[in-house]
Each structure stands twice: as C-alpha cells, then as structure tokens.
Amino acid sequence: MQIDIVVQRYGPECVGGAESHAQQLAEALSETPDWSISVLTTAAKRYETWANEYPVGQESINGIDVWRHAIKYPRHPRFDYVNDLAARYFPTLWARRFGPVTRMLESLWLKMQGPYSPDLVKRIGERASTTDLFIFFTYLYHPTIRGLPQVRNKAILIPTAHDEPPFYFQMTQSLLSSTRAIIANSPAEARLLERRLPGVKERTVVGAVGLPATLKARSEDGDYLLYLGRIGFAKSTDELIRFVYQINNSADKPIRLVLAGSNHGMEIPTIDCIEYRGFVSEEEKACLIHGCRAVVNPSRYESLSLIVLEALSAGKPAIVSTHCEVLRDYCVTLPTVFGYHDQASFGEALTMLTRFESSPDRKANLDFTSEWVENHFSWQQVRNNIQKCCERLSDEVSVR
C-alpha cells in the first residue's frame, strides 16, 4: 500500500506537535511490511513566517521520501491583525446569514495565514490515481483545506483540533463534513469534534500516535521542573515563568525550571531559577526527562501533548494546565498528573507533587501510569486504526 502523508512542514528542525507527530508516524509506518510511505510537504521551516527555506524537490529523511513544494504566499505581515478580526467578527457574520461574504473572508484569511501552496495541492491531485491512502495532518492549513477534498475517498484526517476560533470557521465545518475517516489524538479531541459537527463520531476513531521505546521508566530523583517544546506566548510559557518567579520570591526552598526547545519571540529572564537550554537532540531530551522532578505543560491548546505522555511513560509525574480539556482528562484519569489554572493552584500543584514524592504509593502509581500510556499509545494500535479507516473508506466506495 502506498501511503502519502500530507503535512505543512517536515524535518528535524520542524519542532512542533503536528510536525513531530507526522515524522514519528511516517517512520513508524515505514516499518510495516508492504506499506510504502512518502511525505508531501512545503519548503517551509518556520511556522512564524512560512517562508521557503528548504530546497524545493525530493530528499530522503531517515529512509522516508519527502517531496517539498514551493509556497506561493507565506504568512502575511498583517496576519495577526486579520486573525484577531476574524476571531471577533466571523461568527457574527455567519449568525446573520452573511454566508457568501464570510466564505470570501475565510479564503482571504487562509491565504494570508500561509503556507499557501498551490503546487502541493496540485501534486496531491496528480497522485490520486497512484496513491492508495492519504493521511492529512491538521485541519487548519491550506494543504489540508484544499487538498483533502480532491482525494476524500481515500483520505484520513488527523485534525489535531483545538478549541480555537478557526475551528468554528465554515470552511472547517465543510472539511469535517467531507472527510470520510478521522483519527483523533484523544477522547477529549473526539468530543470536541462531535460538539462541532454532531454525527462525526461515526467516522472517528481515537489513537493516532505511539510512543518510542527509548523512554522506558527508570529510577532517578530530579531537582527541576522541565518544560520541553515551543517556547512562546501561544504556549503560555510566559505565564509558567511568571508563576515560578513569583513562587520563588516567597518560597523557603526555590524551585528550578529548565526550558528546552526553540524560542519563538519571547524574552526569557536571566535569573538563577530559570535555565534555558535551547533546541536539544532526542538523546538530550531523554536525559532531561529522566533527570527532572516533573514535566510541566502550561498550554491551553493541545490535542494530545506528546511530551506529557513521554514523561509519564518514562516514570515521571506531570503538572498541566486545566484550561485545556485534553490535559484536564489526564488529571482525572491518572494519579501522577497534577493540574492548575492560576498562580494559587500552581502552588497547590507543587505541594501535591512534593507530597507525592514522599508517598509510599509513589512507585505503584508511576508504574500504573507508565503501563496506562503503553496500553493506550502503541504503534500497533495506530496501525489497527488506519486499517479500520481503510475498511470504512472501502465500504463507502462500494456502497456508492
């Protein structure tokens, strides 16, 4: 079976939830006998600009054929301003039945957002007759919005959906309505999809990612909290730093926060309790996880959170924002995940972590969590879900 994975950017420098997920999926599926995996993507390296930085054409990354296509329109300099207006006024326009006007404005928004790549969309159509299955990542960008409808009879969507303004655009509803098979990352994401489009549950399975075997649990006592991922305002990293700083102003025993990942326009204070490591390799990441007290995820918008799952698999607790429904689910389900929603509750989460570290049930709860992650996030389960989607697509074509 020839499978083409379509994602907005791809490569070792493209760190991000959907992008990292796409690379892990491509490499995991390539180990399946009789499955041939290719990636169709753009020449972009950075999501802040969507500029063409990689050479257009074909290259091989870890044995995967990657086809890069030129971006005609990168992110417009005024996009943030337009995005704020869209979030504020598009829902009102739809409610007042200004459908044609809003469709035109959403198309403009899509072009200004980037990466707008007619070449990639054209390539998807050209490969429709030779590719057995397309797997599209994220509902948000031009390659998926315009590419998936061309091949919907053989397409799976991994939407990585968040409760954010573009999720409620009309073009998002059209995309979800036309998609025959969807794989959600989590039950919380599946619930979000169902709230947006009642009935989509029949076309949705849960489980699109497995975890690498390199982060197995081992016993190490850490002395720092770890944030690992994109560093910026969109991920609420500024809030996390502020909470740590304010707690340390009044704490008898200061806490340390280690930040690792690419910085996206945020000033990181040079103070003793904050350490910035920058972009780290997979080996360094594993060492940082094994050496921490707990991993922290302050993000309000997640469809899965790979870093939290990797930490739990490695036998580490997590502290997460309960503003995010996906992360809130982990707090409810697992005894090793502690939630917070403001400065005071962040301090309470740290107190709960300290109590947990001296609890006689600590090891049993960590073992339970690690086993739970392994049972729910395996690549074999992902393959099974892809097969289920293929059977659904085949059945629908046969019925028609």
Binned at pLDDT 50, 70 and 90, residue 78 comes out as very high
Binned at pLDDT 50, 70 and 90, residue 208 comes out as very high
C-alpha 165, offset from chain centre: 17
pLDDT at residue 399, rounded to an integer: 41
CB within 8 Å of 45: residues ≥ 6 apart: 9, 11, 13, 14, 51, 53, 54
Report phi then psi at 181, rounded to 5: -145, 130
Tell me the three-class secondary structure of 53-68, residue by residue: CCCCEEEEECCEEEEE
> What percent of the chain has a predicted confidence (pLDDT) above 70?
95
Model confidence pLDDT, tens digit, residues 249-288: 877 778 999 999 888 888 898 888 999 999 888 889 999 9
What average pLDDT does range 331-354 have in this prediction? Answer: 96
